[in-house]
Chains A and B, each alone.
Chain A
Amino acid sequence: MMKKIIIPFLAIFMLISCSDDQKSSNADIISMEITGFSDQELILTATEIIAEEAKVYIFLDNDLTNHTFPLNITTDIKFSSGAKAASIIDGELTFSSADEVKKITVTAEDGSVKDWYIFIIHKQIQNHGFENWYTGVGMNGKSYTEIGNSAIESLWATANMGTSMYTVYCTQPKYETTNTLAEIKTGQTGLTAENSTIPITAGTLFTGRFNIAGAIANPTDPKKATDFGIPFRHKPTAMKVKYKYQAGEQYIQATLNNPTNIFVGFTVTNIEGEDKCSIYAILEKRNGDNVIEIARAKLDSGTTENILTEVTIPFNYTSSENPTHITVVFASSIDGDLWRGAVGSTLLVDDLQLVY
């Protein structure tokens, strides 16, 4: 009798278990095929899915700077088995600008959700006029201004998050009447170099992501705080940018008293010379850990400019490979990663343009 009772219970239990086990929690985009554009002049180069970042890049062989929006892109998206995205109707994605990033919320069979982000990569870099900034929250819990439309959507990054614990934000927008520039400034984390935890923090603006985990884990190595580069597949001949630079008054070298220990502080020495800004771009072909530099455009300037000056910096190609990534960096102190520079050095940049 007992067996007769137990067996149905076990059978029901197993059925419930099995039915739960069969529901997938995968909410991924497996493939995305572009089947059409609202503008027939647009030329698709490729699409790329970065699953670990939940991002999809649509590469276009066009310059969308002066394109008329909205732009409709018809897609055929394949999701994980049983997953779906309610916001996609007939596979159509509508972009209101080239800088817009479409968020697609994919719901897995078991109901769990994952947000995916669709980027358009064209001949110019997103937000290349530095017009878009958003309000983020720093590590100190306070609001500050950061480049882009949001942390997840921006292809540009700064070190503001890393220095936010000191309420120091070295890269900020400079608003003019109808224009916004990026103001990149070398700072320090205290009132004087001597009482600073970090006596010199070069301002930086770059394509890629600020790696806060790397910054926290490696406070003595600023380079570990940056993940340079964004997907990019074009071959510009030059980059054009408007800039204005003013070097800070006192050129200093801060030296860690113990190269592996931030707590024991720095020795700060005044040194001869003058600070310089650094503006450069690198085109690379990346394949896992294998990275080939294809071209580099570089300007190091210590010249004090009173007005915004437009400069064209040619790319010097050293490889015939096709690029997969571009890194663009603006830094207010060229050797800031070596704790060398002048507090107050200020680089203003505007209207970055890649020339073809």
Chain B
Amino acid sequence: MYKRILFCFLFLFLITNLYSQENKFNFYPNLAVDMGGAIPFPLSDIPDGAGGTPEPYPSVGIGAEYTLNEKWQFGLELNYHLIAFTATADVVSQETTFDNGSATYFTGYTETDVELRFVEFPLLAFYHLKEGKRVLFGAYYSRILEGKFLTNGFDGVLSDNKEDTDNAVLPGPADISYSFNQFLDNYDYGLLIGYSYDIGQRIYLWGRINVGFKSIFVPDFNNIDYEMYHVRLNIGASFKLRG
């Protein structure tokens, strides 16, 4: 898989050089920092007092930009990302269901570690506001290469009877650990919106918010009672190969 990614990067790099001759095309490498992860949906499923700690990781990529006119430009990128975050929550009767319809419930303190490595293909539209400032929006498709989704619960109460966990006296004796790695889906798509600002003739800074439109889990995964969607902030810089 890594060979394929490397090949894509090399291919785009070659294309970059070839098409750089055309005035309407420009090409750029990206260097950015990702922060974010996945959030439960609907938002009402986020437990009170829940907190999340995104771990910033660098992302790299390359892109091609086509200038339609003075106001509009379009871009296509290939980026490699690693996003990771830890979420903590005090949960009450958090349900884990089994395919035969049975369920267990957990009340206690939980920590969830999520880590996703993926390549992303964003299709972007840039609109010039004024000199050097642009808004951007677009859509993306990403291919998940590797994922980790691990939930640990501590000092809680675990039962197949919801009454036990609804009325749990904490701290309890149950520590739990669920790995949902194998239920992570291998692709994602969504929309992004952002802003870019030229700090020189060839370098510009940008920030984007990406929001996934599908659950991070495979469609038939129903073992937790809410969906989770990608949401992340990507801040970076691009260097235009032609001035």
0 or 1 for each of B66-110: is its CB under 8 Å from A? (1 = yes): 000000000000000000000000000000111111101000000
B173 touching A139 by the CB < 8 A rule? yes
Q: Smallest CB–CB gap between A44 and chain B, Å?
A: 37
- Bound complex: CA of A165 vs CA of B108, how far in Å? 14
- Bound complex: CA of A167 vs CA of B175, how far in Å? 16
A23 at interface by CB-CB < 8 Å: no
A142 touching B164 by the CB < 8 A rule? yes
How would you classify the secondary structure of chain A's contact residues: helix, strand, loop or mixed? loop
Binding site for A on B (CB under 8 A): 96-102, 104, 157-161, 164-165, 168-169, 172-177, 182, 223
Q: Smallest CB–CB gap between A230 and chain B, Å?
A: 23
B176 touching A197 by the CB < 8 A rule? no
User: What total of chain A residues lie within 8 Å of the partner, measured CB to CB?
Assistant: 27
- Bound complex: CA of A196 vs CA of B98, how far in Å? 10
B102 touching A167 by the CB < 8 A rule? no
Contact (A189, B175) CB under 8 Å given A165-B104, A195-B102, A265-B99:
no
A260 at interface by CB-CB < 8 Å: yes
A265 touching B100 by the CB < 8 A rule? yes
A-B contact pairs, 25 of them (CB 8 A): A139-B159, A139-B174, A140-B157, A140-B159, A140-B165, A141-B157, A141-B164, A141-B173, A141-B174, A161-B173, A165-B160, A165-B174, A167-B159, A189-B160, A195-B101, A195-B102, A196-B102, A197-B100, A216-B177, A257-B99, A260-B182, A261-B182, A263-B98, A264-B99, A265-B100
Residues of A contacting B223 with CB < 8 Å? Answer: 263
B102 touching A139 by the CB < 8 A rule? no
Q: Smallest CB–CB gap between B107 and chain A, Å?
A: 9
Contact (A194, B100) CB under 8 Å given A139-B173, A216-B176, A216-B177:
yes
B172 touching A139 by the CB < 8 A rule? yes
A50 at interface by CB-CB < 8 Å: no
Q: Smallest CB–CB gap between B78 and chain A, Å?
A: 33
B104 touching A197 by the CB < 8 A rule? yes
A197 touching B102 by the CB < 8 A rule? yes
A213 touching B175 by the CB < 8 A rule? yes
A140 touching B176 by the CB < 8 A rule? no
Q: Smallest CB–CB gap between B177 and chain A, Å?
A: 5
Residues of A contacting B161 with CB < 8 Å? Answer: 140, 167
A141 touching B159 by the CB < 8 A rule? yes
Q: Smallest CB–CB gap between A214 and chain B, Å?
A: 10
B99 touching A263 by the CB < 8 A rule? yes
